[in-house]
Amino acid sequence: MTNPTTEASGDQPVAPILYFGNSPEERQQGVRRLVDLFYDEMDQNPHFDRIRKLHPSDLTHSREKFYLFLSGWLGGPDLYTPQFGHPRLRMRHMPFPISSEDRDQWLLCMVNALRAMALPEKVIQGLMLSFFRTADFMRNRPDPEGSAKSLNTISIKGE
Ligand code: HEM
């Protein structure tokens, strides 16, 4: 899996920007904040209804699991694996139908959350590239016939 702290973030590594503070607890606050902004956006912005409906009505556990996972993924301590084992993200997402439209909604939630944290634009771009790769890998349903994305795929195949 791509590690965004070493790839795609150019000359600005993400870890020192998100992980600041004096104690381990303080240093985790940046990741907590990002997760909260991400799920608040999904929960409150009707534009994201489509992916909100895939999640449980109470987002407490979704927030906690995503926080535990992102901590390690963003270059901090791996808090997910000791509790839940290898992430196997694609397999764990199989029960949820994810098309290009769902992927794009997820990525928009994330970019809105990152922008709300006022991180440097270059860091946001690097992170979004890593998020895109992982989110794209999560797609497990074909796009509806006639959608712009499926037409695009057909024209690429036809080249
Ligand atoms: C492509 C669009 C995506 C959709 C629609 C989606 C949707 C979901 C849903 C519905 C859940 C279950 C929530 C729950 O049971 O509380 C979930 C879990 C999770 N997602 Fe995603 N997700 C997407 C992309 C991603 C990406 C890109 C990452 C990582 C960078 C990610 C990381 C996780 C993690 C760590 C969990 C918890 C897995 C577990 O232990 O059960 N997801 N996601």
- Domain residue limits, the chain: 15-140
Say if domain 15-140 classifies as CATH 3.30.365.10.
Answer: no
DSSP 5: T
The four Cα atoms 109, 112, 116, 117 give a dihedral, to 10 degrees, of 70
Q: What atom of ligand 1 comes closest to residue 139's alpha carbon?
A: 1
pTM of the model: 0.86
pLDDT attached to residue 18 = 72
For ligand 1, the distance from its centroid to the CA atom of residue 74, given in whole angstroms, is 16
Q: Which residue has the higher pLDDT, 75 or 97?
A: 97
Biggest alpha carbon–alpha carbon distance for the chain: 56
**pLDDT tens profile 112-128:** 999 998 888 888 999 99
Ligand 1 contact via 38 beta carbon (within 6 Å)? no
Q: CA-to-CA distance for 68 and 77, rounded, in angstroms?
A: 9
| Residue 20: partners with Cβ closer than 8 Å, 6 or more residues away | 26, 27, 30
For ligand 1, the distance from its centroid to the CA atom of residue 93, given in whole angstroms, is 6
pLDDT attached to residue 36 = 96
Terminal CA-to-CA distance of the chain, rounded, Å? 30
Q: CA-to-CA distance for 107 and 103, rounded, in angstroms?
A: 6
